[in-house]
């Protein structure tokens, strides 16, 4: 690891004080360098792909790892698009004046050094580097060993872009080794030179980071999201939202995993919802009432209520009203994203108030759990902690703040 | 410890959903119970005081521990005054509508369970309990063993107040043992039932908590605060601010510990500032230039620049301009509170932008580093972390947030 942390800290100070125009110019130059270095990047990727195949990785893994010209163009475009976001640094978040004339401002500042630990998707190198730079932070990127050559080639292009704009290349550093011990060192904070760790990858990676990190972590472990169909729900809306929440993309953290249907509308709503799911090719694991509806429904186990399937599988349960729905979510949920479908405004208000999740929706799909859909631009992930970043983590959430106080000689009595 | 954590979590959910009127009624009832239980509380305190004296504690320690009727009245008044603060829970921190019609709100929510670990001042029991309740959180309070009986009597009164208002007594729990192992259990998070730890006490307590806690900590280790007198500073203002920043109270974290004087105004400003400090009874540890001024100045060591004296001692140094001042603060400071005295607006702007501290002031005393002076009402402490709470931690900073999303059937394409 050498002096990676110390170099990141030194670069962070320069990046934090660089004007937005310079950071944006660097993002544009980084995008251009990704295009200019396409041959090197694709050649590195071909070597990573050959190794992955030789190691017997499956098709889904290979697909996540693969870059071609079109995908690389997309990566470059994503970096350039970050330049177009509003500058999150220096925003005055609040300001007020005290009776003694002191004027207070709460102002957004960069966090400092952000370490991003990811697995096989090489585009994360560019996305994470761009978001950290936009928010005035230095980035330490740890690529999965399978994408190491691709990520190294991408990081080299990003560093060219930084230098072309007159910013220190060390604002984006890729950990220069596949050695697994490096992750442990990062999680310990590199002697105080890492301010936050962002894991990007599967549950085992996130679990390890959450368990071992001695610095703050922006992440979620599970996205066990719920759709609750209240007695007052419009059936057509409930069907559309349920199908979309479960099936639009099953591998995203905002995908619904459990459908709760209120007993009070079971007679009218349960069968159409379950049939629609089954007909759309979704496996249904149901409670007793649900099993009676259709021979294709299999029994739900206790474990199913707590499972993030990330697949075409959903657990379905009848609940005895709003309180029972909230209790179920409280017991089995992961505080990520939950939706209520209801015409009854009071029921919706209670659900949004009482469900303790980062994102709660009324009459909308859980798949809106995404920084882009929130209007944040790109996101580095979704967090379910209660501190600092919660929900989608975009460039604003990659900032801290300070208080600026303006006086004209005030002393304290 | 038993099931302290589980009971706190259960109470936290009820407190979080209780309306502000009920939480405020409880605060008023808590204040009344403190007055009604005065005899028991003062009797308990007398026993703690007798033990402390028998153990040979010094006068300053005894004074921190001592309660009398007037001090207890003050404690009760402080609790009642928290009721009068605006409700921090449910504040809409931001709201916006996306082109698809989804309406987003970012809303303040309680953090959950807050553990406060403190030493001998028994009033912290009441202050911390009140601030946690106001912000909708459950509190686990760990008193120093010297104030255990006093804190137990105060906690009993607070719990009476909660019950009188129809809220669960377990929203405020005092750890019912002097056993030191309890602190270790709290720092590990009581099986996920502690969301944040707030240490209130000396440096060794804060250091232990920061080193051992596996949950977020709101604290500062050092308050090594600086006053920088720029070449453009008005001498009279510089003198007033320096004396106030150092000497108004020397034991608070916002007290100045180092005075940096710009070489460009040394001829006019250094001697008057140093003489004023010395004449006011402050020991001055100076660099070579400062030592030449007055025989009372002793040489500053390298260690002095990094020391939080918390006493009538100040380190004084000449610096070669704004950049040198910022570099000195960056090297030796603790990212707490720093002030510049300057008439030059551009210099002040740069100082406020480039000094990486929670609080930066222009032409005002560092002793304004206080939640009350910020207008936050009471504070539970001052934090120097970069996450979540930074600067004074009042009831707003004891909150997290969630996103409420209002739709009319939106699904994601």
Q: What percent of chain B has pLDDT over 70?
A: 100
Sequence spans of domains, chain B: 4-218+389-405, 225-373
Distance in Å, alpha carbon of B209 to nearest chain A alpha carbon: 13
Distance in Å, alpha carbon of B315 to nearest chain A alpha carbon: 20
Among the listed residues B150, B146, B182, the one whose alpha carbon sits nearest the alpha carbon of residue B56:
B146
E runs forming strands in A266-335: 283-286, 298-299, 313-319
Best B218, B387, B401 residue to mutate vs chain A (most A CBs within 10 Å): B387
What topology is assigned to A4-218+389-405 in CATH? Aldehyde Dehydrogenase; Chain A, domain 1 (3.40.605)
CA distance A144 to A160: 22
Contacts of A103 (CB under 8 A, 6+ apart): A95, A96, A97, A405, A406, A407
**B356·A196 Cβ contact <8 A:** no
From residue A88, give the alpha-carbon distance in Å to each of A29, B2, B396: 20, 46, 22
Is residue B87 within 8 angstroms of chain A, CB to CB?
Answer: no
Per-residue tokens: B352:
């406020």
Is residue A59 within 8 angstroms of chain B, CB to CB?
Answer: no
**B411·A248 Cβ contact <8 A:** yes
CB A88 within 8 A of CB A108: yes
Q: Which of B356, B365, B387 sits opposite A410 (nearest CB)?
A: B365
**B410·A13 Cβ contact <8 A:** no
CB B62 within 8 A of CB B49: yes
**B98·A357 Cβ contact <8 A:** no
From residue A97, give the alpha-carbon distance in Å to each of A79, A101, A106, B390: 40, 6, 12, 19
**B241·A411 Cβ contact <8 A:** yes
- Kindly state the helix (H) or strand (E) to which residue B184 belongs, with its residue range: helix B181-187
pLDDT tens track for B268-323:
999 999 999 999 999 999 999 999 999 999 999 999 999 999 999 999 999 999 99
How far, in whole angstroms, is CA B108 from its chain's centroid?
21
Among the listed residues B9, B220, B2, the one whose alpha carbon sits nearest the alpha carbon of residue B114:
B9
Is residue A210 within 8 angstroms of chain B, CB to CB?
Answer: no
Residues of B in contact with A352 (CB under 8 A): 404
Residue A373 in this model has a pLDDT that exceeds 80: yes
B199-212 burial, b at 16+ Cβ within 10 Å, e below that, comes to: bbbeeebbebbbee
> Considering only residues 179 to 208 of chain B, which have any Cβ-Cβ distance to chain A shorter than 8 Å?
195-196
From residue A410, give the alpha-carbon distance in Å to each of A93, A236, B265, B368: 24, 64, 21, 9
Report whether CATH 3.40.309.10 matches the domain A225-373.
Answer: yes
Half-sphere exposure of A55 (CA within 13 A, CB side): 11
pLDDT tens track for A3-60:
999 999 999 999 999 999 999 999 999 999 999 999 999 999 999 999 999 999 999 8
Distance in Å, alpha carbon of B361 to nearest chain A alpha carbon: 5
> Considering only residues 247 to 276 of chain B, which have any Cβ-Cβ distance to chain A shorter than 8 Å?
248
Is residue A216 within 8 angstroms of chain B, CB to CB?
Answer: yes
Best A93, A255, A323, A412 residue to mutate vs chain B (most B CBs within 10 Å): A412
pLDDT, average across residues A257-281: 98
Radius of gyration, CA atoms only, chain B: 24
pLDDT, average across residues A240-258: 97
Residue B64 in this model has a pLDDT that exceeds 80: yes
Of A311-315, B117-121, B356-360, give the lowest mean pLDDT range.
B117-121
**A354·B234 Cβ contact <8 A:** no
CA distance B80 to B130: 9
Best B368, B392, B408 residue to mutate vs chain A (most A CBs within 10 Å): B368
ipTM confidence? 0.93
B358-387 burial, b at 16+ Cβ within 10 Å, e below that, comes to: bbbbbbbbbbbbbbebbebbbbbbbbbbbb
Best B105, B402, B408, B413 residue to mutate vs chain A (most A CBs within 10 Å): B402
Q: Which of B16, B237, B412 sits opposite A365 (nearest CB)?
A: B412
From residue B196, give the alpha-carbon distance in Å to each of A86, B210, B384: 32, 11, 15
- Mean model confidence pLDDT for chain A: 96
Contacts of A270 (CB under 8 A, 6+ apart): A261, A289, A290, A293, A316, A318
Is residue A212 within 8 angstroms of chain B, CB to CB?
Answer: no
Contacts of A29 (CB under 8 A, 6+ apart): A160, A161, A162, A164, A165
Contacts of A160 (CB under 8 A, 6+ apart): A29, A30, A33, A37, A169
If you ran DSSP here, which 8-state letter would residue A234 be given?
A: -
DSSP, collapsed to helix, strand or coil, labels residue B220 as: coil
Angle at B37 between CA B35 and CA B42, to 5 degrees: 95
DSSP per residue, B322-361: HHHHHHHHHHH--SSEEEEE-S-HHHHHHHHHH--SSEEE
Residues of A in contact with B353 (CB under 8 A): 17
For position A206, what pLDDT does the model report?
94
Per-residue tokens: B34:
């403190």
CB A258 within 8 A of CB A242: no
CA distance B270 to B137: 49
Residue of A nearest to B372 (CA): A98
CA distance A127 to A75: 8
Is residue A61 within 8 angstroms of chain B, CB to CB?
Answer: no
Residues β-bridged to residue B118: B200
Residues of B in contact with A365 (CB under 8 A): 410-412
DSSP, collapsed to helix, strand or coil, labels residue B117 as: strand
Q: Which residue do the tokens 């379910």 mark?
A: A384
Residues of B in contact with A362 (CB under 8 A): 404-407
DSSP, collapsed to helix, strand or coil, labels residue B116 as: strand
For position B388, what pLDDT does the model report?
84
CA distance A296 to A278: 8
If you ran DSSP here, which 8-state letter would residue B376 be given?
A: -
**A387·B196 Cβ contact <8 A:** yes
Dihedral sign for Cα atoms in the order A187, A188, A194, A195: positive
pLDDT tens track for B230-280:
999 999 999 999 999 999 999 999 999 999 999 999 999 999 999 999 999
CA distance B182 to B184: 5
For position A326, what pLDDT does the model report?
98
If you ran DSSP here, which 8-state letter would residue B320 be given?
A: S
* Phi, psi at B166, each rounded to 5°: 80, 20
Residue B131 in this model has a pLDDT that exceeds 90: yes
What confidence category does residue A317 fall into, taking pLDDT thresholds of 50, 70 and 90?
Answer: very high
Q: Which of A330, A388, A402 sits opposite B357 (nearest CB)?
A: A402
pLDDT tens track for B356-375:
999 999 999 999 999 999 99
CA distance B312 to B37: 39
**A412·B375 Cβ contact <8 A:** no
Residue A335 in this model has a pLDDT that exceeds 80: yes
Strand B256-262, strand B225-229: pairing: parallel
Neighbours of B238 (CB within 10 A): 25
CA distance B262 to B214: 43
Best B101, B406, B408, B413 residue to mutate vs chain A (most A CBs within 10 Å): B406
- Kindly state the helix (H) or strand (E) to which residue B197 belongs, with its residue range: strand B196-200
Of A107-116, A373-382, B164-173, B399-408, give the lowest mean pLDDT range.
A373-382
Is residue B405 within 8 angstroms of chain A, CB to CB?
Answer: yes
What confidence category does residue A128 fall into, taking pLDDT thresholds of 50, 70 and 90?
Answer: very high
For position B95, what pLDDT does the model report?
96
Is residue B390 within 8 angstroms of chain A, CB to CB?
Answer: yes
Residues of A in contact with B411 (CB under 8 A): 240-241, 243-245, 248, 364-365, 367
Is residue B353 within 8 angstroms of chain A, CB to CB?
Answer: yes
CA distance B125 to B79: 10
Distance in Å, alpha carbon of B289 to nearest chain A alpha carbon: 27
How far, in whole angstroms, is CA A12 from its chain's centroid?
23
Residues β-bridged to residue B285: B298, B315
Residue of A nearest to B405 (CA): A361
CB B41 within 8 A of CB B69: no
Half-sphere exposure of B350 (CA within 13 A, CB side): 14
Dihedral-angle region of residue B379 (phi above 0 means left; psi in -120 to 50 means alpha; beta otherwise): beta
pLDDT tens track for A165-178:
999 999 999 999 99
Residue of B nearest to A89 (CA): B353
**B407·A111 Cβ contact <8 A:** no
**A386·B352 Cβ contact <8 A:** no
A148-164 vs A20-36: helix crossing angle, rounded to 10 = 130
């Amino acid at each position: 690891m050498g002096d990676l942390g110390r170099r990141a800290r030194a670069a962070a100070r320069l990046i934090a004080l660089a004007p937005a125009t310079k950071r944006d110019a660097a993002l544009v130059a980084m995008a251009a360098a990704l295009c200019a270095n396409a041959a090197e990047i694709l050649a590195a990727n071909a070597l990573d792909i050959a190794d992955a195949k030789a190691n017997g990785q499956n098709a889904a893994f290979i697909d996540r790892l693969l870059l071609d010209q079109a995908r690389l163009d997309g990566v470059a475009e994503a970096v350039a698009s970050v330049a177009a976001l509003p500058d999150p640094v220096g925003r005055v978040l609040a300001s007020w004046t005290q009776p003694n004339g002191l004027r207070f401002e709460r102002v957004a500042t960069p966090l400092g050094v952000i370490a991003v630990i990811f697995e096989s998707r090489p585009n994360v190198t560019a996305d994470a580097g761009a978001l950290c730079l936009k928010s005035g932070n230095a980035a330490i990127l740890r690529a999965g060993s399978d994408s190491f050559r691709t990520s190294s080639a991408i990081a080299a292009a990003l560093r060219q872009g930084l230098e072309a704009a007159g910013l220190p290349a060390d604002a984006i550093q890729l950990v220069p080794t596949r050695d697994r011990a490096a992750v442990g060192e990062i999680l310990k904070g590199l002697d105080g030179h890492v301010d936050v760790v962002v894991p990007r990858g599967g549950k085992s990676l996130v679990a390890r980071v959450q368990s071992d990190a001695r610095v703050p972590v922006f992440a979620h472990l599970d996205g066990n999201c719920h759709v609750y169909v209240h007695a007052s729900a419009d059936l057509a809306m409930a069907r559309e939202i349920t199908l979309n929440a479960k099936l639009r993309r099953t591998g995203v953290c905002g995908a619904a995993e459990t459908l709760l249907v209120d007993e009070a509308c079971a007679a009218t709503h349960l069968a159409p919802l379950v049939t629609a799911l089954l007909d759309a090719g979704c496996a249904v694991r149901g409670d007793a009432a649900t099993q009676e509806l259709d021979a294709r429904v299999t029994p739900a186990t206790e474990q199913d209520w707590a499972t993030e399937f990330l697949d075409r599988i959903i657990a379905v349960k009848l609940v005895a009203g709003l309180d029972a729905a909230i209790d179920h979510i409280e017991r089995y949920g992961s505080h990520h994203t939950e939706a209520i479908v209801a015409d009854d405004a009071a029921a919706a208000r209670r659900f949004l108030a009482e469900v303790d999740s980062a994102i709660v929706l009324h009459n909308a799909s859980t798949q809106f759990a995404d920084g882009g859909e929130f209007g944040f631009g790109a996101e580095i992930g979704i967090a379910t902690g209660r501190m600092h970043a919660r929900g989608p983590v975009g460039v604003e959430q990659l900032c801290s703040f300070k208080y600026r106080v303006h006086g004209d000689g005030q002393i304290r009595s």
